[in-house]
Amino acid sequence: MSEISILVVDDDSDFRTMLVRLLSSRGYIVQSCHNGEAALTFLATVDVVLVDLQLGGGMDGIELITRNAKLEMSATSIVLTGQATVDSAVNAMRLGAYHYLTKPCDPEEMFVVIEKAVEHRKLQFDNIQLREAFRGGTEVTAEGFVAASDSMQRLCAEAEALAGLDMPVLITGETGTGKDVLASYIHRCSDLKGSFNALNCGALSQELVDAELFGHEKGAFTGADVDRPGLIESTEGGTLLLDEIGEMHSAAQVRLLRVIENGTVRRVGGNTERQVDVRILAATNRDLSESITAGLFRADLYHRLAVICLHIPPLRERVADVPPLAFQFLSNCNSRGQGHIYLSETALTVLERNHWHGNIRELRNVIERAWFTVLRIGGEEILPSHLGIPNSGCHVAVQPRLFPKEQSLPTLLDMEKELIKEALVRYDGNRREAAQALGMSERSLYRRIKDE
């Protein structure tokens, strides 16, 4: 904002010319026009607009100020009026004007007001940048773990503190809360040189869990043509996450207990105990105490795994994590090189109010689906209607039939043209409001109008 641009809007050509010369002599970049309609095309490109309340033509200064105030990064309005009434000045400032000057203007007073208006706009600009930085995920730690809410910041601190301890950790939480992400974070915060591996115990049969986890000897079962180490051996010097540990069958639980207590593993079909140095992390969405009571989980294994317990609260209890997570997922989508799509404030509000039964996994799916929807229609901004969230106040009931059965169907192109015309009429030609109502960006709407 080193070069300050000013727009002068006044239907008095002599006064307008004098003002342009005066402002230019001070080093401002000055443009001018004689009516409100012409001024609309300049509003998005200038820092300050000096506008006379009494403009000739169809649009007066009040309407111009009102329209300017609706822009995302509007110019700062200063009212010029020859009718120095309190009512007109107060009304203009209520509608978005920063200050007012009476005609004829005192040059020094005008320069002081302009400088203050520029500082006011700079402050607005800085606040928008700070808001975008917050919305963009500044709460992501150096290791990539989102922790904006107080509860997650405390959990993050606990994870970092225990990362260097050579003992098992049990991570609990609902499905989709990010238990695997927390486990990976613990590994990255540690000084372990080995890799991080994970096994979902609920996704494999009993035989496959044994083979994947403990490995097997040649000839141990049909298809075992060669000796093969399991994940425990392969994770030597690193961290192994056993996800959904509550689903592990009893025989594998006995084998795992031996690994934790003795630091040795025996492959399926083998007799040799092999020494291993692996840190075991376990995760579950079950209440393992109930599983122990039901005879489905060994109490001795539970006590060995639960030396340290970390619980991840559901997303509905940590709303502050929703914005950075949403922007992180959206950034991942945009990184695919298919254009840059933004998340509107209204859509973000809907996300923050949602219950999120599926937690972070559900949020990621909603963002990815909305991103694809906007990309497909050529838009640039995700609106509430793109989220597909029921009961968000953004859905319109679908009619059983839009056209009588005997009537021929219009083409999609014809329907699009009619919708655009209807939106422009409904919003008095305001392309920004029309575009928002249609679920597309103003640029996309402009291209479609231009192509007609």
- Domains contained in the chain, CATH given: 5-135 (3.40.50.2300), 150-313 (3.40.50.300), 319-397 (1.10.8.60), 407-452 (1.10.10.60)
Cross-strand partners of 200? 243
* pLDDT at residue 395 in the model: 40
Q: How far apart are CA 30 and CA 23, in angstroms?
A: 7
Q: How far is CA 336 from CA 328, 332, 363, 372, 386, in A?
A: 13, 7, 19, 11, 20
DSSP per position, 121-173: HHHHHHHHHHHHHHHTTTTB-TTS-B--SHHHHHHHHHHHHHTT--S-EEEE-
Strand, helix or coil for residue 432: helix
* pLDDT at residue 173 in the model: 95
Are the beta carbons of 241 and 283 closer than 8 angstroms? yes
Segment-wise mean pLDDT, segments of 10 residues, the chain, 452 residues: 80 89 90 86 85 79 82 78 63 75 84 84 56 46 67 90 91 93 92 92 82 82 79 94 93 92 88 91 94 94 94 93 86 72 84 92 93 84 88 43 58 76 74 76 69 60
**CA 293 and chain centroid, separation:** 42
Half-sphere exposure of 65 (CA within 13 A, CB side): 27
* pLDDT at residue 360 in the model: 93
Q: How far apart are CA 259 and CA 235, in angstroms?
A: 13
Are the beta carbons of 319 and 363 closer than 8 angstroms? no
